[in-house]
Amino acid sequence: MSSYVRISDRIPLPALELDRPFAVSATRTDTYPVHVCRNEGDGVRHLLREIDGRRVAIITDDTVATLHATRLALVLRDHGVHLAMASFPAGEANKSLRTAWDMLDWLASSSIARRDVVLAVGGGVVIDTVGWVASAYMRGVPYVNVPTTLLAHVDAALGGKVAVDHPSAKNLIGAFYQPKAVVSNVGYLSTLDTRQLAAGLAEAIKKGVISSPALFGLIEQVAADVLNRDLVCLEEVVRAASVIKCELVSRDPYEEDLRRPLNFGHTVGHAVETVTGYGPVLHGEAVAFGMTVAAQIAVSRGLLDSGVRDRLVTLLRTVGLPTSLSDLPVPVDPAAVVAALDQVRKIRDGKIRFVLPVELGCTVIADDVTNAEVRDAMLASLAVGTR
């Protein structure tokens, strides 16, 4: 016997009003859970709830496939999940349109349908790329972030900013597309080397500077334990930093207001990544250097007490992050960074908004920072970093 769903619409025609526009309303509110746990068993339990019987496509990178994703796929299959998996080469250089196209082509040849679920399992490169792929495939399929780096846990996996890089600028091609859920298993962080953990701490430290003196103080207390992969401390930092990130994002999820404290350290940081070819300098390392430059500009302008800048520099250096040009893993020409910033100015109608700290938990947005100030601060950071 046939089953029907009756839909009755009787929409009246509008009055004829020439040259007068009519309004179109298209609003959407996204809410999603963030599960923070310490082991894969709990992570799988959360994933099964979010998958809810749907087919799954895991997309990861080759490194994470070996470390975590292949095992996770086997466990999910053992629980009856119909699953396929693909991976691409690791590294920021592969956060590209070419990679995105390959993943879209793979999805198109799979059995994944509009209501099935894509799992992004990996660090920031995987999560940013897969999120953008999910936003484009079939005009948007649900995706769940399963971060495996500290930076992804506290930053990339949250907020729905998805993108791939372009040779002219980082994250130039992207969208705002919120995940269905985030499952943050800090147990995965046990496989990270110290450099990657430090890079992740940079994003947590950033959140402390712009909005939470308590988080900044917490990181000062437990930084050594985090670098030693203490799961209790990792969970505490991840949960705190994630809550703060989500609170800040919820105020302006689609960045309609260009005054964004979360960009602290990213203006110069992104330029450093661009001029070094997306790879030799980790994102967190570039952000750490960018925070030092922004803090130095704030000190030079009389906005920030030098003691607060020194406290920031001390914490960054304590965890092994670069705070000067000489600390960066490859040579960086200040003139090239300034040129990259000029390219960003072209994209943003001639203005760059710098986030400058005033004190812990307070920032100002400045759109009049000059190239000379940036250059001087980059050179001054040499002295700050070697005290």
Query: What residues are labeled active site?
Result: 139, 161, 203, 245, 255, 259, 263, 266, 270, 283
- Alpha carbon dihedral 264, 360, 159, 317, in 10-degree steps, equals 60
Spatial CB neighbours of 365, under 8 Å, sequence gap ≥ 6: 259, 260, 261, 353, 354, 355, 356
Q: Which among 242, 148, 156 has a CA at the least distance from the CA of 190?
A: 148
How far is 111 from 135, CA to CA, in rounded Å? Answer: 17
Q: Are 281 and 273 in contact (CB under 8 A)?
A: yes
Within 8 A by CB and 6+ apart from 4, the residues are none
**Positive or negative CA dihedral for 199, 201, 205, 208?**
positive
